[in-house]
Amino acid sequence: MSLMAALCVNMVTVNMLLSVFFLSGVSAQCGSITPAALFIDAPKEMEALSGSCLLIPCIFRAKDGTQFDSSREIYGVWIKNDPRFSNKDNVIFNSSQSVNSYKMQMTGNLREQNCTTLFSDLDKSKTNKYFFRIESEHFRATACDDPLQITVRDSPWSPRINISGEAKEKKSVTISCSAFTSCPHSPPQLTWNLQQNSHSQIEKNTDGTFTSKIQQSITLSDSHDGFNISCSATYPVDEGKPGKTKETQQTLSVTYAPKETSASISPSGLVSAGSWVNLTCSSRANPPISSFSWFLKTKDGSMKVAEGQFYTVNMTNMTESYYCEATNILGHNRSSWIHLKNEESFPLSTILAVTVSVVIVLIFLPLCVCRLKRKNPTQQQTQNQTGEEEEIHYGDIKFSDRRAAPSSVSEQDSGQQQETVYARIQVSKAESSSEQSAEGLQDLYAQVNKK
Size of the site for ligand NAG (CB under 6 A): 35
The reply to whether 422 sits near ligand NAG by the rule CB under 6 A is: no
Are β-strands 320-328 and 338-340 bridged in parallel, bridged antiparallel, or unpaired? antiparallel
Which residue of 27, 219, 223, 278 would you call a contact of ligand NAG, by CB under 6 A? Answer: 278
For ligand NAG, the binding residues in 174-213 under the rule CB under 6 A are: none
- Rounded to a whole number of angstroms, the minimum distance from the CB of residue 14 to ligand NAG is 36
Which residue of 129, 259, 341, 429 would you call a contact of ligand NAG, by CB under 6 A? Answer: 259
Residue 55 or 444 having the CB closest to ligand NAG: 55
For ligand NAG, the binding residues in 286-345 under the rule CB under 6 A are: 310, 312, 314, 317-318, 333-334
Distance (Å, rounded) from C-alpha 64 to C-alpha 71? 17
For ligand NAG, the binding residues in 87-146 under the rule CB under 6 A are: 91, 94, 96-97, 107-108, 114, 116, 135
The reply to whether 51 sits near ligand NAG by the rule CB under 6 A is: no
Q: Bridge partners of 141? A: 134
Which residue of 30, 37, 77, 183 would you call a contact of ligand NAG, by CB under 6 A? Answer: 77
Closest CA to 311 of 297, 295, 298: 295
> Which segment (61-69, 253-261, 287-295, 346-354) binds ligand NAG by CB under 6 A?
253-261
Distance (Å, rounded) from C-alpha 333 to C-alpha 47? 52
Residue 130 or 432 having the CB closest to ligand NAG: 130
- Rounded to a whole number of angstroms, the minimum distance from the CB of residue 2 to ligand NAG is 46
Which residue of 226, 287, 288, 308 would you call a contact of ligand NAG, by CB under 6 A? Answer: 226
For the chain, state the CA radius of gyration.
Answer: 54
Residue 32 or 432 having the CB closest to ligand NAG: 32
Residue 108 or 147 having the CB closest to ligand NAG: 108
The reply to whether 228 sits near ligand NAG by the rule CB under 6 A is: yes
- Rounded to a whole number of angstroms, the minimum distance from the CB of residue 19 to ligand NAG is 28
Residue 272 or 426 having the CB closest to ligand NAG: 272
- Rounded to a whole number of angstroms, the minimum distance from the CB of residue 250 to ligand NAG is 8
Pattern 380-419, ligand NAG, x by CB under 6 A: ----------------------------------------
Site for ligand NAG, rule CB under 6 A: 59, 75, 77, 85, 91, 94, 96-97, 107-108, 114, 116, 135, 162, 164, 226, 228, 249, 251, 259-261, 266-267, 274-276, 278, 310, 312, 314, 317-318, 333-334
